[in-house]
Amino acid sequence: MKKLLRYMKGHTLECVLAPLFKMIEATFELLVPLVVANMIDLGISESNRGYLVKMSLVLAALGALGFLFSITAQYFAARASVSFAAVVRSQLFAKIHRLSFSEIDKVGTSTLVTRITSDVNTVQNGVNLALRLFLRSPFIVFGAAVMAYIVDKKSTLVFLGTILILAVIVYTIMFISMPLYKKVQGSLDKLTLSTRESLGGARVVRAFGMEAQQERKFGEANSALNRVQRLSGTISALTNPLTFVILNGAIVWLIYSGALRVEAGALTVGAVIALYNYMSQILVELVKLANLIVTLTKGVASGGRISAILDIEDEKLDGEILDDGVAIKFENVALCYGASTEPSLRNISFELKKGETLGIIGGTGSGKTTLAELIGAYYPATEGTVSVFGLDVDKWDKKALREKLAYVPQKAVLFMGSVRDNLKWGNEGAPDEELLDALKAACAYDFIMEKDGALSYSVSEGGKNFSGGQRQRLSIARALVRKAPVLILDDSASALDMSTEAKLRANIKELPWNPTVITVSQRTSSVMHCDKIIVLEEGQAVGIGNHEELLSGCAVYKEIYDSQFGGAEK
């Protein structure tokens, strides 16, 4: 939580003024019982109407000023906490986009969603209440004890004993609650995951009739969250009743002992009323303080979860790019996902010069996409080195590295907005002429120009108002707008017919900036024209060469080719 407080910079004034105005309001509140005591002892007892009117005006002034200072403090506290949460949320969102795929896999998408929503809101509430009550409530509690000492020294022990007992109770409850709130947020992560899977896979769930199973899975996650919330809530709920019991007991004792002393002439009625009011103030403030501590406990737990994401170190550039004509180089590369001991890739070595084309082919699960993702450092290699333009990808600044790459993933993803907006993901400053050129190269120009508004045509969520092949071509066009020196096509033409794919290949070959092109595919026709082809089987390169070399020297490649072309070379 301490690490998050650095985002309060720029709001120092609000952080000072909010508690300051609350302290001034608290000072006015502490004066009220004394004024009431004087009204009773000097006004009512002596039937001094003028004094009563004057003191009534003083009470009204104290109330009005207190209200004014309280509203001002609330404003500054809200302004500081909302701005703080906005900065934290922005920083967390930016951090998530800098995480590697392996880090995202490790943390979990559902957990990241919870941390950027629920956790940030919890921290925001904690900051808001802390600015308003963290100083005010203790000030009222100890101020009331001091004022009680001024009114009657013998009653001070009752106040101090009550405060000590309540402090022990509140601390114990806070000590028990904090780990429980961490469990609450962890259970919320699991519930979010279950919800996300069900909504994201709604079509599949219905297609297989698995609604009942998904409801049961959601119910289990919901019940687990309910159990831990009820436990933490039950413990936290003990704070208020215990506070009321102890303080009301202290009030009963004050009134009883005060009545005896009034009867003996050792204490005035106004003094007893003042002591009662001060004890009531302590009651109210300790209830507020208990709620504050519960909120702060939640905030600290959530702040720790947020800090855990923000503390993941960014890898920065610490080497020089070598211009030796080599675009991509793998040297004895292996990769294991997460805690898996079985490598998904092993002993991969090859070199690809600038402007050359590389095809990666193999059966399902052979590691084709994994190999492509290593180039952009989306996953770190477990063994060996991957170099881009002569520099190890681990030494690249990840943003700078990915600006050198134009990556089209297997699943074509479009975003809500216009066609123009989607294409400009490749280059925000690209003029319409370059966007149209990219559409032509990606064989998407004709069907886009037929749409109402062309580049201004609205894209629905996920691009669902386009067919699968159209989404793929738009994704490729978006990558071409970037004009990156390396173009990676990860099975991104699987929905295209062979004629369109061949035209696309020819267009890419004619691109004026002559990119190094890496094509991942299960179709031989997609890679057979590449300068170099890597054949993968169970994570190993069983063949590297051009089409003719692999047909004669690689049994796996020949088997794939024969299965697709019927054994006759085309």
The full set of domain ranges for the chain reads 2-310, 326-565
Q: How far, in Å, are 216, 370, 410, 473 from residue 478 at the CA level?
A: 41, 22, 14, 9
Judge whether 531 and 350 are in contact, CB under 8 Å.
Answer: no
Q: Where are the beta strands (DSSP E) in 187-243?
A: none
* Alpha helix stretches (DSSP H) within 99-135: 101-107, 109-114, 120-133
Per DSSP, helices labelled H in 268-395 are 269-310, 368-375
Per DSSP, what are the bridge partners of residue 351? 329
Local structure of 359: helix, strand or coil = strand
Quote the CA–CA distance of 449 and 440 in Å, as a whole number. Answer: 11
Q: Which CATH superfamily is domain 326-565 in?
A: P-loop containing nucleotide triphosphate hydrolases (3.40.50.300)
**Closest by CA position to 225, among listed 189, 253, 260:** 189
Centroid of chain to Cα 35: 51
Alpha-carbon distance of 152 to 155, in angstroms, equals 6
Superfamily of domain 2-310: ABC transporter type 1, transmembrane domain (1.20.1560.10)
β-partners of residue 335 are 345
- Determine the 3-state secondary structure of 267 from DSSP: coil
pLDDT in single tens digits along all 570 residues of the chain: 667 878 888 788 888 899 899 889 888 888 888 888 888 888 787 778 888 888 889 989 988 998 999 899 999 999 999 999 999 999 888 888 877 777 777 777 777 888 888 889 888 988 888 888 888 888 888 888 888 888 888 777 887 888 788 778 877 877 787 778 778 877 877 887 778 777 777 777 776 677 888 888 888 888 888 888 888 888 877 777 887 788 778 878 878 888 888 878 777 888 888 888 888 887 778 777 777 877 887 788 788 888 888 887 765 545 555 666 889 999 999 998 876 778 889 999 999 999 999 999 998 888 899 999 899 888 888 899 999 998 888 888 888 888 899 999 888 888 888 999 999 988 888 999 999 999 999 999 999 999 999 999 999 888 888 998 999 999 999 999 999 999 999 988 888 888 999 999 999 999 999 999 999 998 898 999 999 999 999 889 999 999 999 999 899 999 999 988 875 544
DSSP one-letter code for 496: S
Kindly state the tokens that stand for 14.
Answer: 């609000």
Return the amino acid letter for 348. I
Q: How many angstroms separate the CA atoms of 516 and 375, rounded?
A: 12
